[in-house]
Amino acid sequence: MYTSKISGLGYYVPENVVTNDDLSEIMDTNDTWIQERTGIKERRHIKKGDGNSTSTMGAKAAKIAIERANLSSDDIDLIIFATLSPDMYFPGGGVRVQEMMNMKTIPALDVRNQCSGFVYAISVADQFIKTGMYKNVLVIGSENHSGGLDMTTRGRGVSVIFGDGAGAAVLTRSDKEGVGVLSTHLHSEGAHAKELSLEGPSTGHWVPEIIAENAQENIPYYPYMNGQFVFKNAVVRFSEVINEGLQANNLTASDIDMLIPHQANLRISQFVQKQFKLSDDQVYNNIQKYGNTTAASIPIALTEAWETGKIKEGDLVVLAAFGSGFTWGSAILRW
């Protein structure tokens, strides 16, 4: 049986930096309030006319990852694109990247698991490689949040959190045991789906109808989040799914060299870090400068950690995510 390993990583974020002070000029908020609750200092937003979209950012990150894997786009056998913010309702971002990168008629699969999207996509890629069906799989997480946020005081509880960006990884077949993706662990609990959700635009809530019916009311085509409820569930599920992965591989928290958590909230990451008794050098956080980039957050953080030498050959790397659905998951990797 084959194993899969990450052979290339890349990320891209827009140049436009939006600070907490910038947001305080358009809504009733301030730097202290945002940092105390989220840890975020700034984020990147697509700027009108800069040529960026969910798919174009994904393609830019993918190009870097493929080059670092010493491959060409012709070597990719499958694209898996994770996002909650596709360029259009359909088709998805995978085929858009395929066109932009002039790829062959390979399959393109979109994953809609929001904050857990990248971990779910890694798991899918890993299974395809382990069965021998594909050799090189391109996994992308990309988000354009700024295009769909309520940038007013009404929406500040959600809008201050999210940023735009993309990350990508190439998973490649390996015949070495004990390296690469050791295991992945996925879960969901649909009972809490509405606690972090976007009801429209959808087949149940097309925009013109919503505008007509809710002109002066809370508009359901902006994201809704029950923040405290999500936080309480996140810290529990993060810990459970990390422990599940460690136990499946006869490992303990002391074996972790680097934990890359989904960048949902710095307070959640710090809580999990304390639970597992990990040092600052064993956890990588970059939400302070990028905000929550949902499906892109883990690949962006993973790439940065690797680029700065914080991840080395032989290290045990744990990826963990929790988000809308509720969905959550972990991936245990030996670098």
Residues taking part in catalysis: 115, 262, 292
- Residue 56 CA to residue 210 CA, distance in Å, equals 29
CA distances from 192 to 37, 70, 195, 205, 323 (A): 22, 43, 6, 20, 11
Q: What's the one-letter identity of residue 252?
A: T
Q: What's CA 326's distance to the chain center, in Å?
A: 15
Q: What's CA 277's distance to the chain center, in Å?
A: 24
